[in-house]
Amino acid sequence: MTAYAKAGAVAEEVLGAIRTVVAFGGQQKEIERYHRNLGEAKKIGIKKAIIANLAVGFAYFIIFGSYAIGFWYGTSLVLENSGYTIGTVLTIFFCVTFGTFSVGQTAPYIEAFSNARGAAFEIYKILDEKSAIDSFSEEGYKPDQIKGIVEFKNVYFNYPSRADVKILNGLNLKINSGQTVALVGSSGCGKSTTIQLLQRFYDLQEGMITVDDHDIRSLNIRHFRKFIGVVSQEPVLFATTIGENIRFGCEDVTDSEIEKAAKEANAYDFIMKLPEKFNTLVGERGAQLSGGQKQRIAIARALVRNPKILLLDEATSALDTESETVVQAALDKASKGRTTIIIAHRLSTIRNADVIASFQNGVLVEHGTHAELMQKNGVYHSLVSAQAFKSAEEKEERTESGTVPDKSVNISRKRTLSNKSSISRNETEVEENKAEGGKLPKVSLMELFKLNKSEWPYIALGVLGALINGGTHPAFCIIFAKIIAVFTETDTNVIRQQANLYSILFFVIGVVSFVTFFLQGFMFGRAGETLTLKLRYMAFKAMLRQDIAWFDDKKNNTGALTTRLATEASHVQTTVGSRLGLIAQNVASMGSAIIISFIFGWQMTLLVLVIVPILAAAGVVEMKSLTGYASRDTEELETAGKIATEAVENIRTVVSLTIEPMIENLYDENLEKPYRNAKRKSQIYGSAFALSQAIQYLTYAASFRFGAYLITIKEMDIEGVFLVFNAIVYGAMAIGQSSSFAPDYAKAKIAAINLFALFERVPSIDSYSTEGQTLDKSNGELKFANVYFRYQSRPDVSVLERLSIKVGQAQTLALVGSSGCGKSTSVQLIERFYDPLKGQVFLDGVDVRNLNIQWLRSQIGIVSQEPVLFNCSIAENIAYGDNSRTVSQEEIEKAAKAANIHSFIEQLPDNYNTRVGEKGTQLSGGQKQRVAIARALIREPKILLLDEATSALDTESEKVVQEALDKAKEGRTCVVIAHRLTTVQNADVIAVIDNGKVIERGTHEQLLANHGAYYNLVNAQVIQ
């Protein structure tokens, strides 16, 4: 991976996890990490400039050296009467001159070829990579139908990235057609790996997996995957509409089938209450939807393809009680007639499975029905007993109070607004964004120079080299005219002497050119690389400064932002980099050529100068015609970049849905637009370029004709005509060369405007602000006072309405309610990711808007429903919890022990130095969650926010981690969001939220006694 690619990967990872970065105050650490990678890229860029410009300087040395040798040898041939005349020599010389000059003109573009070769190397490396599992291959058997008989035969497997860690050790399991098999066991025991192997994401080390007695390696991979429906633990949605997300399950599905699947997944009702219904945009990674809503759409996506094999990896983990009951019934119905493999930590959801298989250390230790396994007192019995213990307590409590669960009771009152949290941005906001986009700052060249003022000495040396290079062309013209005039002499000794002198001067110009071209190229190359680094650094820093609402805007998705970082800074570099040196060189060349021409023949100079403005005008027309296209190209390439980023980030989902061709076509379509623009642009550019080139030859014709006239009337001699002609022609060619940079200038202008608009944008919630109050001691008292809130990306939907609630020092507040009711939004307001529209959020009696934002967030530790880990070591991920200091290894291990992850880490070959992979893909869901919990604990926060912190854990881990969290809560204010109500029954205050407001609050016992919404929710879980 190149240095720039590494920097891009860092930016992509950080921007994709912006909420985690902001929550833990990691902006400065990420900025420094990005800057380190840019520093490496800068060094490589400077080395490239040195090599490229040594080549350019050497090319000009050869050109002028050829002139020296050519005239010296040509003079010798003429004087020796060998049949050569001055006319023959000039003919040959002009042919060689213009040919070599053309070669010389291409020299500055050697850098472009070098860049292209570097990029091509990476591209062809990917193209030439032979995939062991090729999803585009047409090879393999394609059965019309399958029965769904799945068998694992003595399967051994370990991940290539962790070759020393065995995941599966001789797994043997047979699943008959139509059977429902549940896989249970602790996190990391190999359950999720099993279903990944069935989808053939990886190939086995030993053993075989068969479907209908066919080794899956003998089947056509894409055809086989179409028989499989998958719902994963962490649902992945794409940044398109709800309808299109469901359609990804089956490309040929009808609208009525989409609606049917949505109904089966209990998603239809909330979708139909949205203004755009199935056309509602879900945002990047489904950010506009709650966790439960995303999961239900993912379930609908799996059901719509009517799969023969259904894989459910914690398919209901993110659902509230009411939704889980309905969706579980839908999944039970969907499982009929299909081979179904279920992974579940909540064992009550799988007791009706035909076969339950218990895993331990990658081996199947027992299997059978629920009743059979309960009699064995084995692994499954111990897991069920641990979960049943809490439920039994609930049932006893209900029986003692004389209440009996009533299945007919309405589980929760009807909601109208909880469903609306997934609405897409409306047309009004789009128009506002367009208007805002028009208010872009004007950027002058001087501002870019000010930005790069540390490089002024290098720019000054580069300008000096450019001016000398510009002067070499008129100097060449003078010597060229003089050497031609030599042949008017009659004395052969004078001719020989003069010819030798001017040949030596040609050689001197070659030496000077070698030095100055290298000086010009290297100095401007260094300055340009430095500016590129500064612009990318400033852009990345400005992005991390923005408020979360800015990232909610679909224009600022991860793919678009990383594309901007990659392209816009390099475009701006052209204005103060090598292109600026060439422009300075060409201006110097034209200026000195005009001065010399006036000295030697003002009449002819005036004639040619009349034509030069026409040439300049052609360049201006060329530039204007391209400016509009540059802006449009940038926008369309950002769209393509977004598609590529989203597909690569979610490659497992793309592969399991077999939508690779669809993504490929979508990417191709978005590349087609800039391609069509380029074709139109090439016609306009070609016409303007042709005009500028034609004017050069018109200049030749007019100059020679007028020069001949001036010679006949004795106003000029042949030396003056040749001198003026060559000086103006070379100057005109320099102007033409400068005009060829119009496309680069057009792109640079648009890029500079966009970058400075980003630099100057001050967010409403400034993460870098040093203003605001800091408290000497935080007690952790939180209060919501009549809070109203709606997201900027969906201004018509109220998420919170008059939310009022208080939690005292060291108390635990539990927020419960259906998905989308506003629980997670409340937590984000505490973090001050957003500010309320009305009302206030208080910490220790102070409005959080009056507190220093960095201090506020340093008091808070958070564990989210979908944990985000960074592609570094486990130790670094845990230490990320406190970025204000250097965290010791002892503290890291202490936090890991508290989160029940220490023993697992110790078993890894590299222990705490084990890399977790991109987004933590080398860890199971439960392992990731425990690392995230350790990360939150290490900062010793005054306030602990737990958004479904144990949702991904198995029974055994949940019990230990819950004890660790209970201990961690001591002395801290804690806000817990949980669908599994057994985890919050000991909270000091439980608040039931519906339609963005609190409808019930109190202790567990008080709310049960009220027989209200909380009572119904608890009963629904006890019934399960």
pLDDT in tens, 260-300: 888 877 788 888 877 788 888 887 667 677 767 787 888 88
In tens, the pLDDT along 772-789 reads 888 888 888 899 998 899
In tens, the pLDDT along 522-571 reads 888 888 888 888 888 888 888 888 888 888 887 887 878 888 888 787 77
The strand pair at 228-231 and 150-157 is best described as: unpaired
Segments forming the whole domain that contains residue 749 = 3-127+431-760
| Cα distance between residue 177 and residue 186, in whole Å | 27
Residue 138 lies in a domain: no
At residue 109, the pLDDT reads: 66
- Token reading at 687: 């016409």
Co-location of 192 and 314 in the same domain: yes
Percent above pLDDT 70 for the chain: 82
| Cα distance between residue 135 and residue 606, in whole Å | 69
Q: Which neighbouring-strand residues pair with 943?
A: 860, 973
Q: Which neighbouring-strand residues pair with 340?
A: 180, 310
Asked if 799 and 789 touch (Cβ cutoff 8 Å), the reply is: yes
Three-class secondary structure of residue 607 per DSSP: helix
Residue 845 lies in a domain: yes
Co-location of 871 and 992 in the same domain: yes
The residues, ordered by sequence, that sit 6+ positions from 497 with a Cβ below 8 Å of its Cβ are none
Q: What is the CA 11 to chain-centroid distance, rounded?
A: 7
Co-location of 855 and 741 in the same domain: no
| Cα distance between residue 328 and residue 350, in whole Å | 10
Comparing CA positions, the residue from 344, 323, 761 lying closest to residue 549 is 761
Residue 133 lies in a domain: no
Q: Which residue has the higher pLDDT, 388 or 341?
A: 341
| Cα distance between residue 145 and residue 148, in whole Å | 9
Q: What is the mean pLDDT of residues 649-654?
A: 78
Q: What is the mean pLDDT of residues 983-996?
A: 84
Residue 36 lies in a domain: yes
At residue 882, the pLDDT reads: 85
At residue 395, the pLDDT reads: 40
Co-location of 69 and 177 in the same domain: no
- Enclosing H/E stretch for 374: helix 370-376
For the cut 60, the answer to whether the pLDDT of residue 628 exceeds it is no
| Cα distance between residue 175 and residue 354, in whole Å | 10
Q: Which of 237-251, 322-336, 406-420 ranks highest by mean pLDDT?
A: 237-251
Asked if 353 and 372 touch (Cβ cutoff 8 Å), the reply is: no
In tens, the pLDDT along 137-146 reads 788 888 888 8
Q: Buried (b) or exposed (e) across 47-86, using 16+ Cβ within 10 A?
A: ebbeebbebbbbbbbebbbbbbebbbebbeebeeeeebeb
Lowest mean pLDDT among 79-83, 194-198, 620-624, 864-868: 620-624
Q: What is the mean pLDDT of residues 320-328?
A: 64
At residue 952, the pLDDT reads: 56
At residue 389, the pLDDT reads: 44
For the cut 80, the answer to whether the pLDDT of residue 746 exceeds it is no
Which residue shows structure tokens 């199971």? 924
Q: What is the mean pLDDT of residues 669-679?
A: 79
Co-location of 371 and 460 in the same domain: no
At residue 841, the pLDDT reads: 92
Q: What is the mean pLDDT of residues 368-381?
A: 78
- Diameter of the chain by CA atoms? 132
Opening angle at CA 60, ends 58 and 64, nearest 5: 120
Co-location of 476 and 616 in the same domain: yes
CATH number at residue 112: 1.20.1560.10
Co-location of 450 and 517 in the same domain: yes
| Cα distance between residue 354 and residue 947, in whole Å | 33
Co-location of 794 and 753 in the same domain: no
Residue 855 lies in a domain: yes
| Cα distance between residue 603 and residue 609, in whole Å | 10
Residue 407 lies in a domain: no
CATH number at residue 187: 3.40.50.300
Q: What is the mean pLDDT of residues 178-186?
A: 83
Lowest mean pLDDT among 57-61, 291-295, 932-936: 291-295
At residue 100, the pLDDT reads: 66
Q: What is the mean pLDDT of residues 187-195?
A: 79
Q: Which of 318-322, 336-340, 349-353, 496-500 ranks highest by mean pLDDT?
A: 496-500
| Cα distance between residue 541 and residue 552, in whole Å | 18
In tens, the pLDDT along 403-444 reads 333 333 232 333 322 333 333 333 333 333 333 344 566 666
At residue 398, the pLDDT reads: 39
Q: Which residue has the higher pLDDT, 245 or 361?
A: 245
Q: How many domains does the chain have?
A: 3
Q: Which residue has the higher pLDDT, 903 or 956?
A: 903
- Token reading at 334: 């969907």
Q: What is the mean pLDDT of residues 251-258?
A: 84
Residue 771 lies in a domain: no
Co-location of 831 and 729 in the same domain: no
| Cα distance between residue 658 and residue 691, in whole Å | 51
- CB count within 10 Å of CB 109 equals 12
Evaluate the CA torsion angle 327, 330, 334, 335 in order and state its sign.
positive
Mean pLDDT of the chain: 77
Co-location of 799 and 925 in the same domain: yes
Residue 409 lies in a domain: no
At residue 206, the pLDDT reads: 85
- CB count within 10 Å of CB 837 equals 14
Q: SS3 sequence, 85-139? A: CHHHHHHHHHHHHHHHHHHHHHHHHHHHHHHHHHHHHHHHHHHHCCCCCCCCCCC
Opening angle at CA 687, ends 682 and 690, nearest 5: 115
Which residue shows structure tokens 């087609």? 672
Asked if 574 and 744 touch (Cβ cutoff 8 Å), the reply is: yes
Co-location of 495 and 572 in the same domain: yes
Percent above pLDDT 90 for the chain: 0
| Cα distance between residue 927 and residue 946, in whole Å | 16
In tens, the pLDDT along 436-484 reads 344 566 666 677 777 777 777 888 888 888 888 888 878 887 887 787 7
- Token reading at 297: 């759409």
Which residue shows structure tokens 């008129």? 474
For the cut 80, the answer to whether the pLDDT of residue 951 exceeds it is no
Comparing CA positions, the residue from 350, 343, 344, 386 lying closest to residue 368 is 350
Residues across the chain: 1024
Co-location of 895 and 953 in the same domain: yes
At residue 998, the pLDDT reads: 86
